[in-house]
Amino acid sequence: MHQALLFLSRFLVGLWIVLVGAFLSLLLSNAPNVPNTAPFASLSINSGDGSIIYLPNRIFTCTETASQFQCQTEIQGRLLSLNLTKSSDYKYSFSDCRAFYDRQSVSCQEIGQTYAPILAAIYEITGLELNSQQLQAIKQDYWGVNALMKLGELRLMWISTGLSFAAGVIFAFFTWLHPSLFSKAFSSLACGFGMYQAVWGVLGRVQYDVITPYGLTPDTWGWVINGAAIAAGLATVLATALLLGRNVNRLSKGLLIIISSIGLFNLCWLSLAHSWPLLYLPTFLGLASNYAQDGHLFMQISAAISAVFATAATIFLWTYTNQSIKKFVCLGSSVGAIALMTHLFLALFLGLGYAD
């Protein structure tokens, strides 16, 4: 039975790595990456029958002149060209879009803007006179970007939230069956990261007009915030590592436990708070929803869950048996994995232009 569980834990870790790798590959390969690939975020083909086919901007080759950008690519063996006239206020804001397909003029219009990862326009072209088979072939050629656009921002966030929480469950299961110094180190780093975020969040809320009378400039205060947060995070890492490595006297033990538990509480709370697709769960289930009230309730529930985990961590560390330390390490690894993946996906979505 133990061997079967060991195999299952390794299989789940491998499966999770494959799924995350495939998801990240899809995101990275279809990211707009303005302006390094093209000066616009995306281009879509409106066939006129209600179907929209998206083209990734990476397929366009662009040249820049003093007054415009000229971009072109090949679609179904024929040349698609875009001429984007620059406006005077912003380099990647265009006053006019002219499109040509096989040297015939087609309609081109701006239908929105997004961050990709800078502010960039979204264009739509019509009148290409392609039949349904040709349109389906284009959609198959660029299935990745069309799948991502069909999913939309909220569903992408749902997928990332699911992968993040799956990481927490799998890492806890794996850590329980494979206890090691690495898992203890990871739990310590997780608590330290939670404390870093807590200190940064508290000091970051201080208004500049409060600190300027003391001779501190905004830049200097930024250095103070980062320095204090890093110092608090490192102290928490060391405190947690010391608790996991040896049993200390009751006074020191109590102080170190408080520090570690605060770090774990904040780490758990931030993980839940950043998993904002959960806020849309009532709507997803077809229930009436008030986002303002639901958001307040969601934060309260997140804080309550975090307090439960922090209390459990305190009990595990205070009891200080092999089993209780093992439980704390599993808890820290689980929450740490969720927090790490949540922050990673959020940074990717913002940086790649999939979320605003």
Tens digits of residue pLDDT in 35-86: 888 888 889 998 877 788 999 888 999 998 888 899 999 998 899 999 999 8
Tens digits of residue pLDDT in 260-287: 999 999 888 887 876 666 656 555 555 5
Angle 52-41-31 from CA coordinates, rounded to 5° = 90
Sheet holding 42-46, edge to edge: 52-56, 42-46, 119-126, 104-115, 94-101, 78-86, 68-75, 61-64
Q: Give the bridge partners for 44, in sequence order.
A: 54, 124
Tens digits of residue pLDDT in 201-257: 888 888 877 777 777 788 888 898 999 999 999 999 999 998 888 877 888 888 889
What band does 352 get if pLDDT is binned at 50, 70 and 90? Answer: confident
DSSP collapsed to 3 states, 308-342: HHHHHHHHHHHHCCHHHHHHHHHHHHHHHHHHHHH
Show me where the domains of the chain are located: 42-141, 152-352
DSSP collapsed to 3 states, 120-148: EEEEEEECCCCCHHHHHHHHHHCHHHHHH
Cα–Cα distance for residue pair 189/329, rounded to 1 Å = 11
How many residues in the chain?
356
End-to-end CA distance of the chain: 48
Write down the pLDDT at residue 303. Answer: 85
Cα–Cα distance for residue pair 235/254, rounded to 1 Å = 15
Nearest to 42 by CA among 141, 134, 148, 135: 148
Is a pLDDT exceeding 70 seen at residue 288? no
Helices (H), 79-217: 132-141, 143-177, 181-204, 208-211
Write down the pLDDT at residue 227. Answer: 93
**Assign residue 112 a region: left if phi > 0, alpha if psi is -120 to 50, beta otherwise?**
left
Write down the pLDDT at residue 101. Answer: 92
Tens digits of residue pLDDT in 81-100: 999 998 877 778 888 899 99
Q: Which CATH architecture has domain 42-141?
A: Beta Barrel (2.40)
Tens digits of residue pLDDT in 2-25: 788 888 888 999 999 999 999 999
Cα–Cα distance for residue pair 120/103, rounded to 1 Å = 26
Write down the pLDDT at residue 296. Answer: 72
Cα–Cα distance for residue pair 78/101, rounded to 1 Å = 7
Sign of dihedral through CA atoms 305, 311, 317, 323? negative
Write down the pLDDT at residue 295. Answer: 64
Q: Are the C-beta atoms of 190 and 264 separated by less than 8 Å? A: yes
Tens digits of residue pLDDT in 140-180: 999 999 999 888 888 888 899 899 999 999 999 999 988 88
Write down the pLDDT at residue 292. Answer: 47
Write down the pLDDT at residue 37. Answer: 82
Write down the pLDDT at residue 276. Answer: 60
* Cβ neighbourhood burial of 320 (10 Å; 0-12, 13-18, 19+): middle
Write down the pLDDT at residue 229. Answer: 93
Cα–Cα distance for residue pair 193/338, rounded to 1 Å = 12
- Secondary structure class of 93 (helix, strand, coil): coil
The pTM for the full model equals: 0.83
The DSSP code for 118 is: S
Mean pLDDT of 182-194: 92
DSSP character string of 209-232:
HHHGGGT--HHHHHHHHHHHHHHH
Which tokens in the block code for residue 227? 């320095």
